């Protein structure tokens, strides 16, 4: 056995001292915000490779920013999806509904009608526009800020509100946290509060679809912070190895609760660039440009359907509101960030584009917004007849023990009997009226 080198003479005094780097956001509360260091290229300058290209050809697009809508509110370049005015108006209508829904549910949480809610203000295009680019039966594996996918797919608003209120109309019977929807009929996989779990599920589902020779693909969404989870990297590995027909949508909204994107690696490179190490096709896209979002999602969907492989898309956007109703962003970031964000607001950009085309005006926009708010308000009142948080009208007590096992195991039978006994002792004359 070789002798170890004698390092006893070295006490380390002549060696450079190591230092740990801790990422720090550029702007904190009270700071003046300046985003001029961000490289926002002109719209239309990005090349559009063929959907079946070698993943290596997308390498430049992992560091660029695919954009379609320019400062003149017109569409430019090869990524222009050339959508008809009717489709654009439909998209704008979904945006209006999402905004109205978010506002009403946020207000409901503040009124104590539900315990929790999460708005997607500023990120509507990453769900609505992307969903419209997919087939209606493509399986989606969302995170918790993709309510726009359900709205674009026509899921009844009353079902969403029932779930948020966990009332007697909740199809999930109060077994999920508010906003964690699920709909088999709309190919919408159950949302999980455990971050990034949906990514390997999406890849596995896509692999199964390929094994069966089906035509349906899968798409999943996660925040940039969640890319630090091991599940995301496992998903990328399996997607690459098995050429799964799947789209991995990373919503880089700059903030994961109070931690900025640097803690997930944003200081080193883009999130789209992670595709390169796995051999995936990658795109970095202006997430506040509805046309660019639609075009990139359609490109990735066509690629998957052609058996050309998976795609990782980074949608570069900004979370305009707090992380949730439990969060106050003024405690960790500058209030100026929202107004100074250089990519603007997706709803306003689409509205101005339609006006520039001569297909829209401010009066029709005001009418659309009012109609959306009225529809959401009326639907909310209808859902409230099924109950709200803490006001009874929940599912029957027995449903706590149903729908999981075909035959109830012995230990759950004992728990059910104990629960019934405790209720009878506490309320010998029956439950009080509320």
* Angle at which helices 346-356 and 290-305 cross, to 10°: 100
In whole angstroms, what is the distance from residue 24 CA to residue 89 CA?
41
**Residue 10 within any structural domain of the chain:** no
Task: Check whether residue 254 and residue 215 sit in a common domain.
Answer: yes
Task: Check whether residue 279 and residue 404 sit in a common domain.
Answer: no
Q: Which residues pair with 140 in a beta bridge?
A: 188, 219
Task: Check whether residue 282 and residue 419 sit in a common domain.
Answer: no
**Residue 291 within any structural domain of the chain:** yes
pLDDT score, position 5: 57
| Total of domains in the chain | 2
* Domain membership of residue 407 as a residue range: 397-426
Residue 423 in contact with residue 199, Cβ under 8 Å? no
Task: Check whether residue 355 and residue 230 sit in a common domain.
Answer: yes
Kindly report the number of other CB atoms within 10 A of residue 156's CB atom.
14
**Residue 47 within any structural domain of the chain:** no
**Residue 83 within any structural domain of the chain:** yes
DSSP conformational letter for 183: B
The string over 283-294, giving b where at least 16 C-beta atoms fall within 10 Å of a residue's C-beta and e elsewhere, is: bbbbbbbbbbbb
- Bridge-based pairing state of the strands 246-252 and 281-286: unpaired
In whole angstroms, what is the distance from residue 76 CA to residue 110 CA?
43
**Residue 142 within any structural domain of the chain:** yes
Distance of CA 211 to the CA centre of its chain: 27
Task: Check whether residue 188 and residue 77 sit in a common domain.
Answer: yes
pLDDT score, position 10: 53
Q: What angle do CA 53, 126, 321 make, to 5 degrees?
A: 145
Task: Check whether residue 359 and residue 420 sit in a common domain.
Answer: no
CATH classification of the domain holding 275: 3.40.50.970
Task: Check whether residue 94 and residue 191 sit in a common domain.
Answer: yes
Residue 255 in contact with residue 262, Cβ under 8 Å? no
Task: Check whether residue 421 and residue 362 sit in a common domain.
Answer: no
**Residue 18 within any structural domain of the chain:** no
pLDDT score, position 404: 83
Task: Check whether residue 318 and residue 413 sit in a common domain.
Answer: no
Residue with tokens 């190591």: 18
**Residue 290 within any structural domain of the chain:** yes
Task: Check whether residue 164 and residue 212 sit in a common domain.
Answer: yes
Task: Check whether residue 337 and residue 209 sit in a common domain.
Answer: yes
Question: In 3-state terms, what secondary structure has residue 127?
Answer: helix
Task: Check whether residue 235 and residue 164 sit in a common domain.
Answer: yes
Sequential pLDDT tens for the chain (434 residues): 455 555 555 566 789 999 999 999 999 999 999 999 999 999 999 999 999 999 999 999 999 999 999 999 999 999 999 999 999 999 999 999 999 999 999 999 999 999 999 999 999 999 999 999 999 999 999 999 999 999 999 999 999 999 999 999 999 998 899 999 999 999 999 999 999 999 999 999 999 999 999 999 999 999 999 999 999 999 999 999 999 999 999 999 999 999 999 999 999 999 999 999 999 999 999 999 999 999 999 999 999 999 999 999 999 999 999 999 999 999 999 999 999 999 999 999 999 999 999 999 999 999 999 999 999 999 999 999 999 988 877 787 778 888 889 999 999 999 989 988 998 898 887 766 54
In whole angstroms, what is the distance from residue 347 CA to residue 108 CA?
23
pLDDT score, position 434: 46
**Residue 13 within any structural domain of the chain:** no
pLDDT score, position 340: 95
- Bridge-based pairing state of the strands 218-223 and 139-141: parallel
């Amino acid at each position: 056995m070789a002798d170890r080198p004698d390092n006893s003479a070295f006490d380390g005094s002549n060696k450079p001292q190591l230092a740990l780097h801790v990422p720090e956001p550029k702007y904190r509360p009270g700071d003046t915000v300046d985003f001029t260091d961000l490289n926002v290229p002109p719209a239309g300058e990005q090349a559009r490779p063929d959907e079946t290209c070698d993943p290596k050809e997308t390498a430049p697009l992992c560091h660029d920013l695919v954009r379609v809508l320019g400062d003149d509110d017109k569409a430019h370049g090869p990524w222009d999806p050339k959508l008809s005015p009717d489709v654009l108006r439909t998209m704008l209508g979904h945006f209006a509904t999402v905004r109205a829904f978010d506002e009403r549910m946020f207000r409901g949480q503040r009124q104590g009608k539900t315990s929790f809610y999460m708005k997607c203000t500023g990120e509507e295009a990453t769900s609505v526009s992307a969903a419209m680019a997919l087939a209606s039966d493509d399986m989606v594996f969302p995170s918790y800020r993709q309510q726009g996918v359900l709205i674009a797919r026509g899921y009844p608003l009353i079902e969403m509100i029932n779930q948020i209120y966990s009332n007697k109309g909740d199809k999930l019977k109060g077994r999920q946290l508010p906003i964690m929807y699920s709909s088999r009929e709309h190919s919408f996989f159950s949302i999980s509060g455990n971050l990034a779990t949906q990514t390997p599920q999406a890849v596995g589902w896509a692999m199964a679809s390929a094994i069966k020779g089906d035509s349906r693909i899968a798409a999943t969404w996660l925040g940039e912070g969640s890319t630090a989870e091991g599940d995301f990297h496992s998903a990328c590995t399996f997607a690459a190895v098995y050429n799964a027909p799947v789209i991995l949508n990373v919503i880089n909204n700059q903030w994961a609760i109070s931690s900025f994107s640097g803690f997930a690696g944003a200081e080193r490179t883009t999130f789209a660039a992670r595709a390169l190490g796995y051999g995936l096709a990658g795109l970095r896209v202006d997430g506040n440009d509805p046309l660019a979002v639609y075009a990139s999602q359609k490109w990735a969907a066509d690629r998957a359907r052609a058996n050309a492989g998976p795609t990782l898309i980074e949608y570069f956007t900004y979370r305009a509101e707090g992380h949730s109703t439990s969060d106050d962003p003024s405690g960790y970031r500058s209030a100026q960030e929202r107004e100074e964000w250089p990519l603007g607001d997706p709803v306003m950009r689409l509205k101005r584009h339609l006006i520039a085309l001569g297909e829209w005006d401010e009066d029709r926009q005001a009418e659309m917004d009012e109609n959306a708010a009225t529809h959401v308000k009326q639907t909310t009142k209808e859902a409230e007849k099924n109950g709200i948080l803490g006001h009874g009208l929940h599912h029957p007590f027995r449903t706590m023990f149903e729908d999981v096992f075909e035959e109830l195991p012995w230990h759950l039978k004992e728990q059910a009997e104990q629960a019934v006994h405790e209720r009878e002792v506490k309320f010998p004359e029956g439950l009080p009226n509320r």
